[in-house]
């Protein structure tokens, strides 16, 4: 069979699959070369505990940034489920345990919880006012994500509100300190700026991370993928297969040549030629293959813990676990916790308290469990621990993971009546159904440079006024485009760079 294609894509993450669908629909021949034995990259569901029929979203878990337009353009049957609870945060005081439940629309218990935790009505009002202003950014920016990059001035003029300066120009910490008084409330807001970003609140990289967390589809709602992340991949694989896309698995690309406008892309045993080359792998990994300088990229700084439970733990504050775990469950994510943890980690120490958040997929969607587990009431939990950069794992990955896991569970247990260990399912050898992934594991398994979940540092979703018009996917080399999280407006499960890379190829083709 000929190994000559119109487009070769290196890496088989969801963005590669989305690009391949758009390109193949336009009549181009496409091959995807993936180093692993399956497709999906960071967007997969796997049977993490082989003895149990539970398909967990092993890496990414919630969806917000995937534009509805991509789903409808491609006719995907993929669905996401809204969560009625946005978040829950337990807090222990000397004499009592309380919780802050934040529901969509800020109804029901939210008002009284804000009052009990903050001793005032003003924090809830500040919360409402802040997020109403942030909505102005989402309204303007979200509709531009599948077009060429707008300029900074264009967007600023369209937003035409002080929130532009607060989120785009000034450090996030400054606005949070000005708008909120309470340490816990400030911390809950800041979380969106620090997930996957090793920074404190004074660096603009936190603003960019925050922005991407709040603008998805114009609402910033984070939804549960029905069937887990693997359901998205399965839909895309089926579609691209039906369109004739060739998948080459176990195919780690190690060499790229470009001569007379033709790319030759090689794995260990085969060569593929193409006029266009799309890089779904991280820009730093592409640079390693091409022998060029990798872009400056922060270390990945999170741990991901996957768990299978026989039941949800009860909470000291008395909130029903089915409510508390229905949204994002934050613990030790006070503003001061983030500041301290960042300082400690930057000094080379495992944070004394690791800011963390969790989410329970099965409260929204049981379809990831086998019938037997559903009947027995099993649940899944995923934990994302922040400010644990790759450098902390270098000396001994296994030992650091063990210390961090123990610390996280001890912290969590401070808020629980039932210790989490007593709720975890067990394997037949007696071990608990829990796994932890470090940034170094993510590099090894799915090629995220030092575990950076966004492939490289995120960029603002616009170009400077004097920059050339672009899709945000172009590289120094003509006809070589980024089609992964490392593109401008990449990062997250969005398909946006996949769509935009396909658009750049079709534009270059004059289509």
Ligand X SMILES: Cc1cc2nc3c(=O)[nH]c(=O)nc-3n(C[C@H](O)[C@H](O)[C@H](O)COP(=O)(O)OP(=O)(O)OC[C@H]3O[C@@H](n4cnc5c(N)ncnc54)[C@H](O)[C@@H]3O)c2cc1C
- Which residues of this chain interact with ligand X, rule CB under 6 A? 10-16, 33-36, 41-43, 59-62, 65, 252-253, 280-281, 285, 304, 442, 446-448, 453-454, 484-485, 491-493
Q: How far is the CB of 124 from ligand X (least distance, A)?
A: 27
Helix (H, G, I), strand (E, B) or coil at 55: strand
- The 10 Å Cβ neighbour count of residue 375 is 9
CB of 465: closest distance to ligand X in angstroms?
Answer: 28
Q: In terms of CB distance, is 249 or 417 closer to ligand X?
A: 249
Q: Which is nearer to ligand X, 36 or 241 (CB)?
A: 36
CB 237 within 8 A of CB 13: no
What does each C-alpha distance from 143 to 54, 147, 148, 235, 362 come to in angstroms? 36, 8, 11, 24, 32
Q: 235: left (phi > 0), else alpha (psi -120 to 50), else beta?
A: alpha
CA distance 13 to 446: 9
Nearer to ligand X, 8 or 54 (CB): 8
- Least distance (Å) between residue 352 CB and ligand X: 23
Nearest residue (CB) to ligand X, 101 versus 195 = 195
Measure CA 434 to chain center. 21
Nearest distance from residue 251's CB to ligand X, in Å?
A: 6
b (16+ CB within 10 A) / e for 337-373: bbbbbbebbeeeebbebbbbbbbbbbbbbeebbeeeb
Task: Name the residue among 303, 305, 307 with its Cα closest to residue 345.
Answer: 303
Q: How far is the CB of 481 from ligand X (least distance, A)?
A: 13
Closest approach of ligand X to the CB of residue 354, in Å: 15
Q: Please, which residue, 239 or 485, has the CB nearer to ligand X?
A: 485
- Minimum CB distance to ligand X smaller for 11 or for 173: 11
* Residue number, 11 or 171, with CB nearest to ligand X: 11
Query: Which spans in 48-121 are helix H?
Result: 68-73, 109-118
By beta-carbon proximity to ligand X, the closer residue of 281 and 420 is: 281
Type and span of the H or E element at 129: helix 122-141
How many Cβ atoms sit within 10 Å of the Cβ of residue 123? 21
User: What is the distance between the alpha carbons of residues 218 and 141, in angstroms, rounded to a whole number?
Assistant: 8
- The minimum distance between CB 183 and ligand X, in angstroms, equals 26
Give the shortest CB-461-to-ligand X separation in angstroms: 15
Assigned token pair, 197: 């970003």
> Between 280 and 339, whose beta carbon lies closer to ligand X?
280
Measured from the CB of residue 47, what is the shortest distance to ligand X in angstroms?
Answer: 17
Whether the CB-CB separation of 397 and 438 falls below 8 Å is answered with yes
DSSP helix/strand/coil, 412: helix
């Amino acid at each position: 069979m000929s190994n000559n294609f119109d487009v070769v894509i290196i890496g088989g993450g969801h963005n590669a699959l989305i690009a391949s669908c758009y390109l193949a629909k336009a009549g181009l021949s496409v091959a995807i070369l993936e180093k692993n034995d399956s497709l999906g990259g960071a967007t997969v569901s796997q049977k993490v505990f082989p003895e149990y029929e539970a398909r967990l979203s092993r890496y990414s878990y919630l969806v917000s940034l995937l534009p509805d337009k991509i789903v409808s353009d491609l006719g995907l049957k993929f669905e996401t489920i809204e969560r009625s609870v946005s978040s829950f945060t337990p807090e222990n005081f000397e004499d009592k345990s309380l919780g802050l439940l934040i529901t969509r629309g800020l109804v029901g218990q939210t008002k009284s919880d804000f009052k009990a935790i903050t001793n005032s009505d003003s924090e809830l009002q500040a919360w409402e006012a802040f997020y109403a202003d942030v909505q102005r950014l989402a309204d303007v920016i979200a509709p531009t994500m599948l077009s060429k990059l707008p300029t900074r001035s264009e967007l600023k003029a369209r937003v035409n509100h002080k929130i532009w300066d607060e989120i785009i120009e000034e450090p996030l910490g400054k606005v949070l300190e000005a708008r909120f008084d309470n340490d816990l409330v400030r911390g809950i807001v800041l979380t969106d700026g620090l997930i996957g970003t090793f920074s404190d609140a004074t660096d603009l990289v936190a603003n960019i991370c925050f922005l991407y967390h709040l603008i998805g589809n114009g609402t910033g709602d984070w939804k549960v993928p029905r069937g887990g992340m693997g359901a998205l991949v399965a839909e895309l694989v089926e579609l691209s297969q039906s369109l004739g896309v060739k998948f080459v698995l176990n195919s780690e690309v190690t060499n790229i040549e470009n001569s007379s406008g033709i790319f030759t892309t090689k794995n260990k045993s085969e060569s593929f030629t193409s006029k266009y080359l799309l890089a779904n792998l991280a820009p730093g990994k592409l640079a390693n293959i091409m022998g060029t300088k990798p872009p400056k990229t922060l270390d990945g700084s999170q741990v991901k813990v996957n768990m299978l439970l026989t039941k949800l733990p009860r909470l000291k504050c008395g909130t029903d676990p089915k409510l508390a775990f229905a949204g994002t469950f934050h613990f030790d994510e006070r503003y001061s916790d983030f500041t301290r943890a960042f300082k400690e980690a930057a000094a080379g120490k495992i944070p004394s308290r690791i800011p963390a958040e969790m989410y329970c997929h099965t409260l929204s969607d049981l379809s990831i469990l086998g019938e037997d587990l559903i009947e027995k009431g099993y649940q899944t939990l995923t934990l994302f621990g922040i400010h644990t950069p790759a450098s902390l794992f270098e000396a001994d990955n296994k030992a650091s993971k063990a210390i961090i896991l123990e610390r996280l569970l001890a912290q969590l247990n401070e808020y629980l009546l039932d210790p989490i260990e007593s709720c975890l399912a067990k394997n037949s050898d007696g071990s608990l159904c829990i796994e932890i992934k470090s940034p170094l594991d993510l590099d090894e398994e799915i090629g995220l440079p030092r575990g950076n979940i966004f492939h490289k540092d995120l960029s603002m979703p616009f170009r400077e006024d004097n920059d050339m018009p672009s899709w945000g996917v172009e590289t120094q080399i003509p006809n070589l485009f980024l089609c992964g999280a490392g593109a401008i407006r990449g990062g997250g499960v969005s398909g946006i760079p996949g769509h935009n890379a396909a658009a750049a190829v079709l534009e270059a083709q004059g289509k």
